[in-house]
Structure 1
């Protein structure tokens, strides 16, 4: 290894589907000398789309990593999926980079995937770069698109190069100002971006105002440019045609000369056991801190944990710890990834992306370190979209229950937006994802990789219960069986909290009428009751329980007595506190041909949906934004397919919970009563 942390660049290609990210990924690898022949999505020969499903469908499903060593830089480049159905893996990879290059289709313009990824990158404090691809395609209106980008995302979006000769050439307007284009003058574009860059730093601005641009050194320009990216003061726009290669070399040059290295980026918030921030540095001699952002269950090398090194140096044969575990593992093999190719390396320095294999304990978001003296180290969990689309399933063939559970666990390890639940009361296994397509892909993978087939049906909706008022409850648990008895008495009060607040347990007991050792037992009983529900069998949330009085017996009082007393006192109070059922309300984005807008909006209105707005896209496509009860969308994939001839797509994100209509609550309560009476 002959590079340093300062020469590393970590960049992810993100954006809407069909913007050409994978083709651009191939073009950059080819231009940088990593591959000799550029692969093709159509022929299924790309470095990133190596999965059988990706080849069959012609688009990325997972993220893919490859390194480019070019011009004195080591570039870790990540290709990501564009479909919203698979954005979990894309967002997970944001944790490994300093820069997000958001690829925009020059013909289709700004799409909802563009907006989504720009917002995610901004929230995480990452440098952003807008890459307009397909500049040589018919229908590309580049000047209008730049204006639209600036209107949508702010005046900080400025071209750093310009297309010429109908998209067959790209000219730099930051370092050079010669030549003419069919878009705008280079001198004008150069001045606009230079003015934006120098105003971020007072010293640079002073030198520029005193003696002009010639007084600025390349290092001063780089430092100011990098600061602009880090602080969101500048979002460069550059132009490429991944198909012809126009602008690809220029994009590599921008990456090498201007994008932040690991020492210049904004690190993620590492925390200690008390959730206090831990400062990390890019010092290769300090103890190791690395973050696992990707898990791959590879059939040849086993479980692969892909990580970004933030501090210290990881070498083969060294010992590492996972989170706060005290059992170290040995780094037997250290890999650099290039698609599905694994190249063994001796070490990984700060800023590097590498992988270890066959460590069963490793998991997504694990922090790897080598210090036994350090408190537990963890990273603040990344915000991921809540998987709301569900399927209940059973094995198609008897005797495969254990195999099904293991296969689902492996798939859940790889995708932070794929969940598996088992509902004991229904003996039902439920999987949840971001869409019907997301779950369809996961079930196909399960069949191909683990030879498990399933029968599916709609799951029970994840309703919740809460209360609308305050009330008090009481219960005395007294049991005498001839020997030692059981005694515990609890008085408590329940109060509603604001939606989404969760649960609070408050000890307001005075005078020692209930010894402190029994308070955890009361809380345990309350939590047991909360899990089982009060009026419809769904978990309770958004309430406070205050225990304020009670009694105990010095001989007969036991933990089990206070568990029972706490549970029944809680249910007594809940019954008086106007309990209500809450239903999940989801944000729905539906992409459809404009001709189908009437049918689709009418269909949503019939599902108790609220239309929040629409976005018109190029090519006659429309995005409808709405909020709807999840319970109303069980059959929506089939309905949307019928309304749009298979051209419609949609995504769901949990928005909030709100009370169900009274007839629905009555129906849910009556359906639950027989089960409650059995208990």
Structure 2
């Protein structure tokens, strides 16, 4: 009937319609992709066709193997409860379900997979390895559902995430020895956002004279904060009158402003929560060109931001920590005392355990995996999810701004 259904395995009969579950994927450098499965019902046979998850197109199983240590022994069939390997079937993934009935949709078993939180940023030592690196990481992600890679647009970093420092060290070793890829590791950056606190005016005159025609554009504008719940986080308004800036140049001014929005005005992070109102300007009938107003708009915007009490917003996260009950005080004290966090609740659980719920700045939790391990002797675990943004304290903002190496805004 095409409706998704949970499945109760019947290990008693090899004659029922086949259902099998892929619980591990391996990538062998000589054999290729290996999907390790357990037969839950019926019999999986070599040179047969089965259906995959909710797919309506059958996939072909060519060969079947039993695992015997490092050896693979080819076999004709696997019965209920048996574990075996299907090689070289690209459609199969971790947690795939194989079945015999295209009219049914089987829900894979709900496996408690922890969210990978510990991260390191990586850069290729040899940029020619970019394509090879992407393919190798994809294969490792297929093998390990607790390992992911993400490209963080706000910081420009490629981040590998796993269950801890040792886990990622193993990943780096695999990349080096299996795929001959050398990586440089760096701490992950926090995705701050730039914003402003007050209204301010900005101005810039762009004038460039070369041998022939010159470039001229002059822009006056005002910036003002937008409400935090504004859906776009940015508005651009033309308030000029009398044609001081011809309408055809407004998109150029907005283009210059948006260049700063993306790359930041004072700390290198995206700028949000700003309304820009172009109030006046001047043009030249010959020398005014689009490129001149892009530059003038960009510089006038940066000028206004510098006067508008620029501020950094930092991400806060919900963190839920499970640990031995006798460590509750130490953990709560660490969160509230040294991490600028706020403990929201703490409860004792059966079995001498406790759970602590708190919110804290992400910047203070970058090494929390190792710190929690130290406090609890390796018996603690935690989950973390984005909550909201808050203004960064002045001392920390000063450190972040001081470490910013600006790209030259001067494109005169």
TM norm structure 1: 0.44
The residue that corresponds to 2:294 in the other structure is 563
Q: Deviations over 1:18-43 (max 9, x none)?
A: xxxxxxx6x536479798999xxxxx
Residue from 186, 197, 202 that aligns with 1:473:
202
Which residue is 1:614 aligned to?
346
Listed as ranges, the matches of 1:61-72 within 5 Å are: none
- 1:637 partner SS: helix
Residue 541 of structure 1 aligns to a residue whose secondary structure is coil
Partner of 2:225: 496
The reply to whether residue 522 of structure 1 matches residue 253 of structure 2 is: yes
Give the conservation status (yes or no) of the 8 Å contact 2:11–2:41. no
Q: CA deviation at 1:594?
A: 1.2
Separation of aligned partners in 1, 2:324 and 2:249: 62
Report how far residue 496 of structure 1 moved: 1.1
Q: Deviations over 1:159-182 (max 9, x none)?
A: xxxxxxxxxxxxxxxxxxxxxxxx
1:9 to 2:26 alignment: no
- Per-residue CA shift, 1:348-370, capped at 9, x if unaligned? 77x8689xxxxxxxxxxxxxxxx
Distance 1:305 1:480, change over 3 A: farther
Taking a change above 3 Å as real, the CA distance of residues 676 and 52 of structure 1, as seen in their structure-2 partners, is closer
Quick one: which of 152, 158, 163 aligns to 1:430?
A: 158
Are the structure 2 counterparts of residues 408 and 506 from structure 1 closer, same or farther at C-alpha, using a change threshold of 3 Å? Answer: farther
Gaps of 5+ in 2: 28-36, 43-50, 56-85, 108-114
1:353–1:49 distance in 2 versus 1, CA, 3 Å: closer
Structure with more strand by fraction: 2
2:217 touches 2:292 (CA, 8 Å); kept in 1? yes
C-alpha change, 1:508 and 1:67, in structure 2 (3 Å) is farther
How much has 1:537 moved relative to structure 2?
Answer: 2.6
- Partner residue in 2 for 1:627: 359
Q: For 1:445-464, list aligned pairs within 5 A.
A: 452=181, 454-464=183-193
Name the residue aligned to 2:9: 28
Q: State which of 651, 657, 662 in structure 1 corresponds to 2:383.
A: 651
Q: CA deviation at 1:625?
A: 0.9
Query: Among residues 390, 393, 404, which one is paired with 1:661 in the alignment?
Result: 393
Unaligned runs of 5+ in 1: 1-6, 13-24, 39-45, 54-63, 70-75, 79-92, 97-297, 307-336, 355-385
Give 1:400 shift: 3.2
Aligned-partner Cα distance in 1 for 2:395–2:291: 38
Deviation by residue 1:364-423 (Cα, 9 ceiling, x = unmatched)? xxxxxxxxxxxxxxxxxxxxxx99754211347785344224545777899897522478
Q: Which residue of 1 aligns with 2:69?
A: none
Distance (Å, rounded) in 1 between the aligned partners of 2:13 and 2:243 = 73
2:11–2:40 contact (8 Å) kept in structure 1:
no
Partners of 1:389 and 1:520 in 2: CA distance: 43
Whether contact under 8 Å (1:612, 1:625) holds in the other structure is yes
Aligned to 2:96: 339
Structure 2 distance, partners of 1:658, 1:485, is: 45
Q: Is contact 1:435–1:652 with CA below 8 Å preserved after alignment? A: no
Contact 1:65 1:339 in 2 (8 A): no
Matches of 2:373 and 2:234, distance apart in 1: 41
Higher RCO structure (Cα 8 Å, ≥6 apart)? 2
| 1:522/1:562 contact within 8 Å kept | yes
Give the aligned partner of residue 224 of structure 1: none
Please list, as runs of the form range in 1=range in 2, the aligned pairs for 1:176-575 lying within 5 A after superposition. 300-302=88-90, 304=91, 339=96, 390-395=119-124, 400-408=129-137, 418-421=149-152, 429-431=157-159, 433=161, 436=164, 440=168, 452=181, 454-499=183-228, 501=230, 502-575=233-306
Answer 1 or 2: which has greater helix percent.
Answer: 1
The answer to whether the Cα contact below 8 Å between 2:24 and 2:95 also exists between their aligned partners in 1 is no
Report if the CA contact (8 A) 1:465-1:579 is conserved. yes
Per the alignment, residue 270 of structure 1 pairs with: none
Matched, 1:47 2:21: yes
**SS of 2:22's equivalent?**
coil
**Counterpart-to-counterpart distance in 1, 2:242 and 2:218:** 15
Distance 1:511 1:34 in 2: 85
CA distance 1:65–1:514, change in 2 (3 Å): farther
> What TM-score comes out, normalization by structure 2 length?
0.69
Task: After superposition, give the CA deviation of every residue in 1:478-504 in whole Å (9 maximum; x if it has no partner).
Answer: 211121211222222211123364222
SS across alignment from 2:265: coil
Q: 1:498 to 1:407 in 2, by over 3 A?
A: farther
Distance across 2 between alignment mates of 1:448 and 1:77: 33
Cα distance between partner residues in 2 of 1:398 and 1:560: 33
Deviation (angstroms), 1:610: 0.6
Q: CA deviation at 1:472?
A: 1.6
